[in-house]
A = this chain, B = another copy of it.
Amino acid sequence: MRQSELFTKTRRTAPKDEVSKNGRLLIQAGYINKEMAGVYDYLPLGLRVLKKIENIIREEMNKLGGQEIFMTTLQDPTLWKKSGRWDDKVVTDWFKTRNDEFGLSNTHEEPLTNLLKNHILSYKDLPVYVYQFQTKLRYELRAKSGLMRGREFIMKDLYSFSRTPEELDRFHDKCRKAYLNVFKRAGIGNKTYLTYASGGSFTKYSYEFQTLSEAGEDIIYLDKTKKIAINKEVYDEESVQTLKLNREKLIRERSIEVGNIFKLGTRFSDALGLKYVDKSGIERPVIMGSYGIGLGRLMGAIVEVLSDDKGIIWPVSVAPFKVHLVELKKGLARGLYEKLTKAGVETLYDDRDLTPGEKFNDADLIGIPWRLVVSEKTKNKVEVKRRNAKKVELISHDELIQQFS
């Protein structure tokens, strides 16, 4: 894409009303726009990142046998009264429409459990794994962490429907691996740890995925060798022993919860009457699990972890473009832009009328992984630099195309 045609502009300074690093950088670089506290629009660059994150997650969920659907924002109170979760004392962050006529998508256990009653009858219809990418609305009282804790955000929520606790366990284990794979592919694998957290009535612990960052709201106790952590909320002698950890080896860290997986048991299938008939003809409640990743929060966490004082440093896998082609004289890089585009290399082409300094600052702020500079000085070659490196290499067009396509 030609940068002269991109309607968003970078800002010289970070927005003053934004305290989080991810919020400041993403707004300054033109990725997102703040509507209100915790409510952000995705602009062209931001939507490209969001879609890449979405596709990584989709691929991993499909590999697990997940089937994608798209549920609604408006929620029928009838269903939530059945599970006892319509009450604001039970779900404390409901958004509801005037006179509490409808709820707004806080989560989707109730409608999905109800929906499946039309499709699940016998043990032959199970297990089933259903997921979506859908907007959640939650009345957060303190929405001040940029994309990391919003009042409106897109979530991947998968729900598993199994016949037995053992079947749930097996999927749970597979999903845990898939989640670690998502975070690895999204570039924060080496900072993200499986963490034991509080479980609820069906199971003692749930799993969280915590990414080390000073911007996080969680405290975990981490064994770096075993790559396992315990959330502060369940950190005690018992949890340390259960996980066979050594208290002396655990280090206290601040972290961002980038995902969680949770065994629900029969909490919702009992309440809403989702049953199946087993091989011996006996009717049993379906056993459920839920598996969430907030896409905006993941994007925000990547920025928190991968950035420097000049701007963002995107991993290639989620970057809005692979290369940022910067020309220092009008039209000088047009031919190369066409070559790159033809070779299928996602390129942001800075063809704007600005000084080299302004262009370099923008490139650092926007944070595309590779910067390619074409000037009169580079002649027939291109100056290649990684966003997070100082080394500059001068290579020919042919070498460039070969390396990047």
Contact = CB atoms under 8 A, between A and B. Distances in A.
Interface of A: 5-9, 11, 30, 33, 35-36, 39-44, 47, 50, 65, 67-76, 95-100, 102, 104, 111, 115-116, 118-120, 125, 128, 130, 135, 137, 151-152
Contacts of A44: 67-69
Contacts of A128: 7
Contacts of A11: 118
B97 A69 contact: no
Given A7-B116, A41-B115, A119-B9, A70 B50 contact: yes
24 contacts: A7-B116, A7-B120, A8-B119, A9-B119, A11-B118, A35-B72, A35-B111, A36-B76, A39-B74, A41-B69, A41-B70, A41-B115, A44-B67, A47-B69, A73-B104, A73-B152, A74-B151, A74-B152, A95-B102, A97-B97, A97-B98, A97-B104, A98-B98, A135-B135
A195 B68 CA distance: 37
Given A7-B119, A7-B128, A39-B74, 19 more contacts: A5-B67, A6-B67, A30-B119, A33-B118, A35-B72, A36-B74, A36-B76, A40-B72, A41-B71, A41-B111, A41-B115, A42-B70, A43-B69, A44-B67, A47-B69, A73-B152, A74-B152, A95-B102, A104-B104
A116 B50 CA distance: 21
- Chief secondary structure at chain A's binding surface: mixed
A44 B71 CA distance: 11
Contact of A7 (B33, B41, B130, B135): B130
Contacts of A119: 7-9, 30
A100 B44 CA distance: 31
A140 to B, nearest CB: 12
A150 to B, nearest CB: 9
A73 B72 contact: no
Contacts of A99: 98
Nearest to A99: B98
B135 A76 contact: no
Contacts of A75: 35
A47 B67 CA distance: 10
B68 A47 contact: yes
| A40, A44, A102: most-surrounded residue (chain B CB, <10 A) | A102
Nearest to A105: B73
A167 to B, nearest CB: 15
A47 B70 contact: yes
A36 B319 CA distance: 39
Contacts of A135: 73, 135
A399 B100 CA distance: 60
A176 B131 CA distance: 37
A360 to B, nearest CB: 21
B72 A39 contact: yes
A337 to B, nearest CB: 17
Nearest to A33: B115
Contacts of A70: 41-42, 47, 50
A73 B76 contact: no
Given A35-B111, A36-B74, A5 B41 contact: no
A298 B44 CA distance: 25
Nearest to A129: B7
A104 B103 CA distance: 12
A75 B104 CA distance: 14
A71 B39 CA distance: 9
Nearest to A108: B41
A118 B47 CA distance: 18
